[in-house]
Each structure stands twice: as C-alpha cells, then as structure tokens.
Amino acid sequence: MSQLQTVQDAFAALTGLGLAITDSEGALLTKPSGREDWLSRLLAEEDGAPRLLQELAGIWKSGRPGSPALDYEIEAGVKLAAVPIPADTGKAGIVWGAFFAEARMSKALQDYEAHSGRQEGSWATLRAELPLLNAGEKHRLLEQLSRFAQTASLLLRQDDGDAAGGKRHQAHLIREAAQLVDKPGFRLMDALRLLKQADRSLGFVGYAHRAEAMRFQIADLVGEQAAGLLGTSFSLGEGFLGQAATTGQPARWTEMERDPRSVFFSRLGIRPHTLYAFPVLLEQSVRGVLFAGTVREETAGEEVYELGQTFASLLGARQVVDMLRDERNKHYIRLTMMMEIARTLTLVEERKRAMFILIDMSVNLFESPYAAVFLRQPSGKAQVVSRGLPQREAEARLRDIVPRYEGFQEDELSADLVTMREREGVRYLECPLVSKGKFLGVFLIGLKRPTDEADARELFLSLAMMGSAALVRIAERERQQGPSVVQLLHRTVKQWNPEAYSHTLEAKELGAAFAKERGLSAEETERIGDACCLAPLEGEIIREWIGDPGLLHVLNEMREIVKAAGEQPVSQADAAFGEASQIVVLALGSAGYAFKAGRHPLGAVSPALRKRFEAFRERRETLELELSLEGPVDVKEPVKSMKELGLSSREQEVLRLVATGRSNREIAETLFISEHTVKNHMTNIFQKLGVTDRSQLIALVYQRGYGQN
Amino acid sequence: MRDELTLRLQLECTLFFEANPYTLESVQGLALRLGRRPDHLETILGRLVELAILERLGEGQRAIYRYIQPAVAADSDLEWARP
C-alpha cells in the first residue's frame, strides 16, 4: 500500500491534480494527494463520513458498471474525472481525479452570469479556479488517469498478495499455537519460539509468571540478545511489564531507548527499541505477562501486536484447562485415597489401629504438624492418641475440648460441626466424632498453612465420618465378640495356673448367676463372668487385648477393691465401686480364688450386697444337693453316652476314680501321673461335662448310672 | 496437591507400617513386599521420615525404616471431665 501511495503522490504532483483512491464503496484506500483545496470539497465529511464521495461511488456502482472512465458533472461547469481500477486481477476501486471545467460550458456560464448578474451554484468560486479543458485535453486527462488506474491495479494486487500472505502466515502461526497448547506435554518455550517466528525483527520473546501476589518472574525466554532477562523479576507496576501486569491490558511502546522506565532492561545491558506486553488472564486475574521486543532500531509489524494478544488468550485458555485438569486430578486423587482409607477402616478390628489410621492419614493428606483423637470412655476416662503433640499439650487440649462438648446431642456429623480454631498461632480444624447418635470424642488436625483451610475442611469431615463409623462398628463388634478373646486369655490362665483357672471358672458361673438373680442386664452379667475369668491376668495384658471399655472398667474397679481392702471404711463401699465389680470380687472370693498379696477383699464390698450374696449361695447349695440326691432314676443313660461327650480314655479313667471318691493325689498315684496332670484332666472333664466343681461331677456321674454296666 | 502416585505410595507405605508396627524394612525389602519400584519408594520413605511417621536408622543403601507409633495416653491417666 505504501508503494501505491508513493506513486499516487508523484502522479498528483506531475499532473497538478487532486487524487484520491477509494474502494468500490467509497472508502479511502490511500491518503489523498495533490490539490487540497479541491480535495477538501470532495472529502468533506458529514456525520463522520465523506458523504459526497460515498454518494458518487454509489451512483457509479449502480449506474455504470464496468465503465472505463467518467467525467462526472457535479454541477453546471464543474466536472469530476474518475476511472475504475480494473477488478479482474486485484481489488476493485476508483481513482478520483478531482475537478476540472469544460472550456465550452464555462464560457456559456460566464455569459449567463454576466447577463443575469448572479453566480449559479455553490461551486461557482471553485469553478473560477479550475483548469479549463477542451475535448482533446479532457480525453488526455482521462487517458492519464486510466494508465494510473492500471498501475494502481498492479500495486493493489501485489499488496493484496502480501496481505494475504501475511494473513496466511498469521493464521498458520495461530493454528500451530492452538495445536501446541492443546498437547498434553505442552511446553511454554515452544509457544514463545513460535511467536518469535511471526516477525524477523523480533529480538526476544518471553514469559513472566506470577510467582507471588505482587511479583512476576521471567522463567522462560527465547532470544539470545535478551538472555540476561532470564531469572529476573519485577513487581506489579514496575517498569513497562509491571505496568501491563497492573492494567491487565495489552500494550506496546516504541523508541523506548530514552524512556526512564526502560531501566529494568538497561541495567541488564538490554536496550529494546520496541516492546510488546500481553497480560495472560485467568478468571479476571493476571497470571503472567507474555512479552516480545526488538533490540535494533526496528519496529515489528502490526500483526505482532495482534498475534501476541491471540497467543496470550491461548495461554490463558491453556491455564484454564490446566487448572480444571488439576482440579479434576485433585478430586480424583482424593476420591481414590478416601476409598482406600475407607476400605482399610472397614477392615480394621482394633480401636487403637483405627485411631492410628485417622491420625496418620491426616498427617499424610494435609501435611499436618500434628493430629489427635480424643475418645470418651464409658468409664468417664479419656483415651488420647496423637502425633506431633507433646503429652502435656495433648492433656491441655483435652481440658479445652471437654467443656465444649458437654451436652452434645447431634446424631450424625455435618459440615457445620467442623470448626476452625487457633492456638499459639497455629490454626487447626476440630470435629466431633459421632455416629448413630453416639458421641465418641473429638478429632483435630493442625494446618501447615492458613490457606489450606478450604481444601482441608471437606476432606477432614469425610475422614471424621469414616473414623466415627469405624469406631462405632469396632465398639459393637468388641462387645459381641469379646467373650472369644476372653476365652482365649482364660485358656492361657489354664496353662500356667490350673488352680486359679478352676476357681475363676467356678466364680464365673457363680457371679453370672447372682447377677442374673439381681436383675442386672445381660451385658453386665456377661461382663461379670468375663471379669472373673480374667482376674488372674496382669493389667497390661488386659489393656492390650480387651477392647470393651466396660469390661476394662469392671476389672480396674475389681483391682481397686482389692487394693482398698482394709483401707476403706465399709460404709463407703456402695458409693465407691460399681455393683458388677463387687459381685466379681464376691464370686471369686467364694470360689476360693487366692487374691494377690494375700488380701481378702470381701471387707471392701458393701455389707448389704455381701449378705444378699451369702443368702444366694446358701439357696444354691441346697438346690444342688437336692438335685444330686433326688435325681430321677429313669433318666439314666448308658455308659457309652460319656464317650459321646468326648472324654478321652485317660479322662474316663480319671472320672472313674473320682466317682469312687479318690482325691487328686490318690488318682495321680494310681495312674502314675503328676497331680498337676490330674488337675488338667479334671479341668477338661469339667468343661466337657458342663459342670463347675467336683460335687457336681460326682452327682452327674451317678445320675447317669456310671459303672452300672 | 502432589501427584497421584506419590500420595498413593505414601498412604500405602503408612498403612503397611501401621499394620506391621514392629517391622524394620530397607527400601529394597519394602519394594519387594509392596511390589513397587525401589526408586519410587526412596523419596516416599524420605517424606514419611520428614512427617515423623517413620524413623530412619542408618544411611544410604543400608538405611532401614521403622514405624513411629502415635503417642497413646492410657485411659487410666486422663479424665474426660471439666477441669
């Protein structure tokens, strides 16, 4: 287009005409040149548009399609020469050759005006200044204009070609950039290299990402001439790039060598001539600044500015995609992790392990500096499992927590039960552990960064929910499955102290029967029996294996009663210890169980309960005796039924001797075995025949007519 | 959020040591038990040491790891009651 302008200017100067070139709609393609006084009339604007020019173009287009040339009479005596620019090879257009006056017409008008004494038309003043052309001169003018139109056509075609080529190149770069940012392994450097290809005059292209709230860092750069920029940073509002980052609008600066704002570059020995900056926006926030520049005294084309903005939009779009992808991955990771944790918590059978999982998973997922679970025990005690909290601090947290959850009545967990708190400058999340209306305790995690809250809250609630469900399930399971663990432990007693085992077996039966008579619940009755069985075991072993807090409580109290024997006034016993624990002590004492340190703990049991227990025992012994003596003869069973009960041949021998009234020592001597072995056999026989003592065994043997055959 | 494999391995290792609290494992040994690559586990175990979930004994190839159990306050020591 610049070449056409040059030719047009030269032609106007040569011919002394005013020249304008428009497209077929009357829009100027070049800057008019030549006689300004003429052109000003032609180009006079009305409502911001050259009205006359556009009207003439409209008339031309509709009335004279393909006309080779035209002398258009604006008004009497004033003509406008115009020729079309051939449209077959290039852009269609019109060359307007400004005005002239026809000699013949001008003479006639002058005569008329002289005669009438007035001037005709608004162009009369101009007409006086216009060159007067006769027919031959007019023909030559139109020919000249036609030749110029031919030249203009060639130049326009070339310009069209350049523009189309430029557009094609630009479109190619945009397409490449779009493909680049769409690739999974997208590298920013590839996009920068691509943008640098847009214009050879570009010396560098780079990207500054937002490293902090107020600071941007240049971590990617193409162009050796500006290599010093790599790794440098600038603040919002600092220099040219900081200015673009502040406004969020694309900008360009030229001839910036002497601009004081270029100190950011000059201190690094870089002196850009032109600089472009394109902020990359994500949700209305500037995430980075794409920039490019020339370092010689060159100015890149307009297309760099347009292309840069497109690249910045594509990078923004890529960042949105990355953000969404990250978000999706984050949710996916969370989901899979939570599924894994849920699966583990579903399988775990120990309360302590469930608490460990809750704590360790929190530390892993939130990088928490500390995590703790506080459980409320039925005994009124607390169990605390923590990581990262010193014991004293854990106790302080417990004191802090307890009043807050007094009278807590929620049935299930919900998001509003998660609270954010702060202690000694560290923020932490706290949530009660509750499931099926049971308040179990409190779970808390410290947060590494204050910004973690929003992310952590939801996940923390999920963990608390899973933990609550697991803890309730474990508690129920422990209650249901407790006896099997108790039985296992009781069997170990049998191995190392058969006598104590025998006594505890008797005490179990006695205690449970008394509890039943007293109207205690099935759960408590079961606990009394279990506590009798576990009495000989050390506290440490029991704590390790027994999960039922109620049973642990009975055992603890039983030990307290033993300790308190002789130290505590009897009148206070009722208030000091639970009935279940006192029944355990009564049953064990009655069965002849030897308490440690030789203390007889019955003194620490409530006198009223003790009296009732003694009455119960008396009634029971009488009944047993009656049963032994009055067993109906017709229920006798053949001796083979003993075999059916699963007694071994050795046990049958032992039983036979028992039935004859031999003592253990006598049986041992008869069978050439130790007394200890006899006791073992006796224990097994008791278990297999479902009796608890020797007298019951003898009664049963005679009931079944042992030895008659 | 760290990438999926890292976090998954981190949880996997933690759960392994929780389930086997008295075990002492080298990177190679753990890789064999979990069916994972030793070079993947090395970073993970380092991370768990940083989080004080594991303890590292020894250095380099000979380093072995063991679980640090969370602190447990016995129920007989603490009361769930107002101070």
Compare CB distances from B70 to A359, A364, A380 and report the shortest one's residue.
A359
Å between A379 CA and nearest CA of chain B: 9
Answer yes or no: do B70 and A356 touch at CB < 8 A.
Answer: yes
Parse chain B into domains and list their residue ranges.
4-67
Q: Flag if B72 and A352 touch (Cβ within 8 Å).
A: yes
Q: From CA A221, how far away is CA A208, in angstroms rounded?
A: 9
CA distance linking residue A554 with residue A454, whole number of Å = 45
- Rounded distance, CA A618 to CA A439, Å? 44
The candidate with the shortest Cα–Cα distance to A361, out of B48, B36, B5, is B48
Helices (H), A256-408: 263-266, 302-347, 351-366, 391-404
Whole-angstrom distance, CA of residue A113 vs CA of residue A107: 10
Report phi then psi at A21, rounded to 5. Answer: -120, 125
Q: By residue range, what is the domain housing residue A444?
A: 348-473
Closest to A379 measured CA to CA, from B83, B79, B77: B79
**B20 in A contact zone (CB under 8 Å):** no
Contact A367 B51 (CB under 8 A): yes
User: Does residue A247 sit in the same domain as residue A358?
Assistant: no
The pLDDT of residue A356 is above 80: yes
Partners of A552 on chain B (C-beta within 8 Å) are: 75
Nearest Cβ partner of B70 from A329, A380, A386?
A: A386
Residue A624 has pLDDT above 70, yes or no: no
Regarding whether A271 and A251 lie in a shared domain, the answer is yes
Nearest CA in chain B to A347: B19
Please check whether residue A441 is in contact with residue A432, taking contact to mean a CB–CB distance below 8 angstroms: yes
Q: A623 pLDDT band (50/70/90 cuts)?
A: very low
ipTM above 0.90, yes or no: yes
Q: Which of B8, B47, B75, B76 to mutate to test the interface with A (most CBs of A within 10 A)?
A: B75
Residue A396: inside a domain, yes or no?
yes
Q: Do B1 and A385 touch (CB under 8 A)?
A: no
Q: Which of B3, B73, B82 sits opposite A394 (nearest CB)?
A: B73
- Position B83 scores a pLDDT of 58
- Position A242 confidence tier, pLDDT thresholds 50, 70, 90: very high
Token pair 């697991």 in the structure block, residue: A470
Mean pLDDT to the nearest integer, A663-685: 83
A208-222, A335-349, A681-695 — most confident range? A208-222
Q: Which residue has the higher pLDDT, A305 or A114?
A: A305
Does A176 map to a domain?
A: no
A404: helix, coil or strand?
helix
Q: Based on the fold, state whether residues A663 and A643 are members of the same structural domain.
A: yes
Backbone angles phi, psi at A92, to 5 degrees: -70, 140
Q: Is the pLDDT of residue A122 over 70?
A: no
Q: Which range is most confident: A199-203, A243-247, A553-557?
A: A243-247
Q: How many domains does chain A have?
A: 5
* A565 vs A249, higher pLDDT: A249
- pLDDT band at residue A119 under the 50/70/90 scheme: low
pLDDT classification of A638: cutoffs 50, 70, 90: very low
CATH number of the CATH domain containing A209 = 3.30.450.40
Residues A15 and A143 grouped into a single domain:
yes
Return the number of other C-beta atoms located less than 10 Å from residue A157's C-beta. Answer: 16
CA distances from A199 to A173, A203, A205, B51 (A): 11, 9, 11, 52
The reply to whether residue B82 touches residue A406, judged by beta carbons under 8 angstroms, is yes
CB A273 within 8 A of CB A296: yes
Mean per-residue pLDDT for A249-270? Answer: 86
Do A604 and A638 have their domain in common?
A: no
Q: How confident is the model at residue A629 (pLDDT cuts 50, 70, 90)?
A: very low
Same domain, A105 and A46: yes
Phi then psi for A275, rounded to 5 degrees? -135, 135
User: Facing residues of A101 across strands?
Assistant: A132
Residue A340 lies in a domain: no
Same domain, A104 and A219: no
Q: Which residues of A581-603 are buried (b: 16+ CB within 10 A; e: fewer)?
A: bbbbbbbbbbbebebeeebebbb
CB contacts of B22 in chain A (<8 Å) are none
Same-domain status, A221 and A282: yes
Which of B53, B69, B80 lies at the smallest CB-CB distance from A380?
A: B80
Q: Is residue A393 part of a domain?
A: yes
Selected residue with higher pLDDT from A433 and A22? A433
Q: What is the mean pLDDT of residues A584-608?
A: 78
**A395 and B81: CB-CB below 8 Å?**
no
Encode A312-347 in three state secondary structure: HHHHHHHHHHHHHHHHHHHHHHHHHHHHHHHHHHHH
Query: What are the C-alpha distances in Å from A561 to residues A381, A589, A607, A617?
Result: 18, 12, 14, 21
The predicted pLDDT at position A561 comes to 82
Residues from chain B that touch A363, judged by Cβ atoms under 8 A, are: 51-53
Q: Are residues A457 and A504 in the same domain?
A: no
The size of the A-B interface in CB pairs under 8 A is 110
Neighbours of A231 (CB within 10 A): 10
DSSP-assigned letters across all residues of A528-552? HHHHHHHTTS-HHHHHHH---HHHH
Give the pLDDT of residue A162: 64
pLDDT, averaged per 10 consecutive residues of chain B (83 residues), comes to: 73 91 89 90 93 91 90 72 66
In a domain, A169, yes or no: no
Of residues A625 and A539, which shows the higher confidence score?
A: A539
* Beta strand extents in A364-513 (DSSP E only): 371-376, 381-387, 419-423, 426-435, 438-446
Q: Are A223 and A205 in contact (CB under 8 A)?
A: yes
Rounded CA-CA distance A376/A381 in Å is 6
3-state SS, chain B, equals: CCCHHHHHHHHHHHHHHHHCCCCEEEHHHHHHHHCCCHHHHHHHHHHHHHCCCEEEECCHHHCEEEECCCEEEEEEEEECCCC
Nearest residue to A19 (alpha-carbon basis) of A99, A118, A77: A99
Same domain, A601 and A685: no
Q: Average pLDDT in the A654-666 region?
A: 82
Pairing of strands A93-102, A132-133: parallel
Task: Give the residue with greater pLDDT, A688 vs A253.
Answer: A253
pLDDT at A11 over 70: yes
> Which residue in A has a C-alpha nearest to residue B50's C-alpha?
A367
CB contact under 8 A, B72 and A399: no
On chain A, the residues whose CB falls within 8 A of the CB of B48 are 364
Positive or negative, the CA dihedral A420, A422, A428, A434 is negative
User: Which of residues 23 through 62 in chain B touch A, CB cutoff 8 A?
Assistant: 48, 51-53
- Which chain B residue has the Cα nearest residue A442? B80
**CATH topology for B4-67?**
Arc Repressor Mutant, subunit A (1.10.10)
pLDDT for the residue numbered A215: 94
Q: What per-residue confidence (pLDDT) applies to B10?
A: 92
* pLDDT > 70 fraction of chain A, expressed in percent and rounded: 86
Predicted pLDDT at A269? 87
CB contact under 8 A, B80 and A382: yes
The answer to whether A356 touches B18, Cβ cutoff 8 Å, is yes
A286 in a structural domain? yes
Q: How far is B21 from chain A (nearest CA, A)?
A: 10
Q: pLDDT per residue over A313-329, tens digit each?
A: 889 888 888 888 887 87
DSSP at A480: H
| CB pair distance less than 8 Å for A406 and B8 | no
Interchain contact, A333 vs B7, CB within 8 Å: yes
Q: Look at A66-75, A511-520, A672-681 and tell me which has the smallest mean pLDDT.
A: A66-75
Pair A126, A210 in one domain: no
- pLDDT (tens digit per residue) in B69-78: 999 875 556 7
State how far residue A390 is from chain B, nearest Cα, in angstroms. 9
- Is the per-residue pLDDT at A599 higher than 80? no
Calculate mean pLDDT across residues A267-280: 90
Q: Using the 8-state DSSP alphabet, how is residue A262 labeled?
A: G
Domain boundary among A117, A132, A163: A163
Do A310 and A353 lie in one domain? The reply is: no
Cβ–Cβ of A381/B1 closer than 8 Å? no
pLDDT tens digits, residue range A471-511?
Answer: 998 888 777 765 567 878 888 888 888 888 888 988 998 89
Separation CA A283–CA A305 (nearest Å):
23
A596 vs A548, residue with greater confidence: A548
Supply the mean pLDDT for chain A.
80
pLDDT tens-digit readout, A161-178: 666 667 777 788 888 888
Contacts with A357 (C-beta within 8 Å, 6 or more apart), sequence order: A341, A344, A345, A348, A467, B15, B18
Q: Which two tokens stand for residue A580?
A: 């279940």
* Alpha carbon distances (Å) from A378 to A401, B29, B63, B75, B76: 17, 43, 44, 11, 12
